[in-house]
Amino acid sequence: MPRPPPVDAHARRRAAEDRGSPLMTELATDPTTRPVSDEAADSAPGLLQRVILPRAGDPVRVRALYVDEGSGAKIATEEPGPGDTSQPVTLTLGQRGRRRLRVLSRTSAAVPARSEVSFGAYFNAFAAGYWRRWSILTEVHLRLTLEGAGRVEVYRTKADGTHIYVGGEVVEGRREVDLALDLTPFEDGGWYWFDLVTDDAELTLLEGGWFADRPAPGRAAVTIGMPTFNRPADCVATLTAIGEDPAVLAEVTAVILPDQGTRKVRDADGFETAAARLGGRLRIIDQPNLGGSGGYARVMYEALGSTDCEQILFMDDDILLEPDSVLRAVAFSRFARSPMLVGGQMLSLQSRSQLSTMGEVVDRNAFLWRNAPDTEPHHDLADQPLRSTPWLHSRTDVDYNAWWMCLIPRSVAEDLGLPLPLFIKWDDAEYGLRARSRGYRTATVPGIAIWHMSFLEKDDTSDWQAYFHYRNRFVAAALHGPANPRALLIDTFKRSLRHLLLMEYSAMALQDMALRDFLAGPEALFPTLPTVLPEIRAKRAEFDDGRPLDSASQVPLAELDELAAQVFPAAPRDAKSAVKMLGRAVVANLRPPNPAHHDVPQRNVPSRKAHWYVLAHLDSATVSTPDGRGVTFRRRDRALFAAQLKKSGQQLREIGKRWPELQRRYREAQPTLTSREGWKQIFED
């Protein structure tokens, strides 16, 4: 697709707008004005997502996110219904592991002779069900610039993953393919994608993309906000990715980076080059460590107060960015039926072909976030590709999107205010629930994504972050939860018992602090924001499980022989046996521990085996951390067990009695806690 002469293209665009005619009608008659450009956003009106290919340095398995070169699976078929001109299809995909496609650039590739390559993969298929549900569009255009000889074949799916052949075209020589595709059959989900097939000659994809049938409403002017704490190298990598992509840079008005760490981004290798590419867009604000909520609040504070942006895009500092996700999020927001939050999905940074989460919801009774129903976390698309995974084709609806990547329209931010001063945890979920309560929805959209550290390698509900998990969960529940907190209180007490059986006394001490501070009311949130973290770390350091060691070799090894050391109790088979086992565990923890086990652990337990039914009957154990970088030496304390269990029960009973009053106070305080004026005092201090 050759780029049009800039003057002529802009003149045509202005003339079309002056006449009130649909821009895409005129563009369709002149192929020189239908580019998929990577140089300027306004040279591709209506662009929804580019066809993109993996980076040169990406691991081999990452290719599965961009192309499907054969899964060895048979595709389901369905006969067309009355009036449906699409044709049923039965396909057998090729052998996995064979690389057919030759990647030429991030937007071009060659298909060798006698090959079949499907672009029905995570980043290049089109999530039609999401666009059908949330956007104003009723059709989408697939536009490809091809050269050589071969065929383009287009497929779609239903919400149950059933595949249907839609149509295709034969290509000879250089060809501009423009296929209009109906979005109306996708109410419950489904995707579009295309395959490239060759016989005796090679076929080259020069560029391509999925387009709307009209220019996007509004204006693309996004402020990207990325708070950071001692992640300078990761930040520079993200800044570089933004600045290296001209199409992305054309839509960015500002990049705001609140630097809250002691290792500054300005001092990192490559910073000057990355900053130069961004020009005057980059703003670094040095401030004390106010956590994620303090960082994101600063981003929104500055974006609303000193930029003319239309969209605010939150991103974490420890991510790997697929730059096209920025363009896709902005496009989805502009075409949305009404203002809404647009979330990016999380891919695993440790296993980069793995989709960590499809979307998240909040259980309104126990008030706890969880994966959306009928989704499977940590799904590896290299082993189970999109085309052969039925559950990926049903649209997943969510309550909120985590702020590893989330776009918030300016109008929504102006209406809802800033994040709550929660430091970390629940600030993103609360904002999504706040938005929903005011009529703004959230969509977590496949194909819009970043890579982020998977949660499989950490358990932050038991480390220093336990304080924020507990306090902020109760704050969010007071604001958006039920009038009866019974389920929330029962779940919290169960977690208390689990901590105690695991000898996680520091986590229980932090729970005590968290519930105490929640009971103190909303007035304490702003004053404690800059000071609470040192208090948490000091409290945690008072307990064995809060002082990780570098290695189990720093204490005597357990005296079990190697066979016994690798045999662990089995999990309870059912609810009845679980209750019986739990009762015995509580009784065991009320007995005096054997003094001989104070200095020599009874067992050395790997983190994957550290279940309550394993540790509950031990007097001591070393337990490795989930990331494998250290261990904790845990020792049972009967008096502490009884005292902390009693204190937890007392606090939860008090919360239950005072719940109506607490809900009223937090809800009355919310406008102040989320106001520019409230945050201004923190930022100025």
What is the bridge-based pairing of β-strands 222-225 and 311-315? parallel
From 553, 545, 561, select the one nearest 607 (Cα to Cα).
Answer: 545
Name the nearest CA neighbour of 604 among 551, 546, 640, 547.
551
Q: CA-CA distance, 352 to 122, in Å (whole number)?
A: 12
DSSP helix, strand, coil percent of the chain (3-state; round to 5):
40, 20, 40
Amino acid residing at 191: W
What distance in Å separates the CA atoms of residue 578 and residue 567, rounded to the nearest whole number? 20
Could you tell me which of 420, 466, 405 has the C-alpha nearest to residue 290? Answer: 420
Distance separating alpha carbons of residues 329 and 335, to the nearest angstrom: 10
Residue located via tokens 């259980």? 363
Distances (CA, A) of 574 to 366, 495, 613: 22, 19, 13
Asked whether the CA dihedral 391, 363, 317, 226 is positive or negative, the reply is: positive
| Sign of the CA dihedral running 401, 405, 410, 413 | positive
The kind and range of the H/E element at 634 are strand 631-635
Please classify residue 172 by burial: count the beta carbons closer than 10 Å to its beta carbon, then call 0-12 exposed, 13-18 middle and 19+ buried: exposed
> Which amino acid is present at 307?
T
Residue 515 zone, left/alpha/beta (φ > 0; ψ -120 to 50; rest): alpha
Known catalytic residue at 428? yes
Phi then psi for residue 131, to 5 deg, are -70, -35
The β-bridge relationship of strands 139-157 and 116-118 is unpaired
Rounded CA-CA distance 369/385 in Å is: 27
Catalytic residue among 234, 399, 427, 428: 428
**Crossing angle, helix 466-480 and helix 505-519, to 10 degrees?**
30
Burial of 19 (0-12, 13-18, 19+ CB in 10 A): exposed
DSSP class of residue 38? S
C-alpha 287/C-alpha 258 separation (Å) is 7
Q: Which amino acid is at 127?
A: A
Active-site residues, by number, are 428
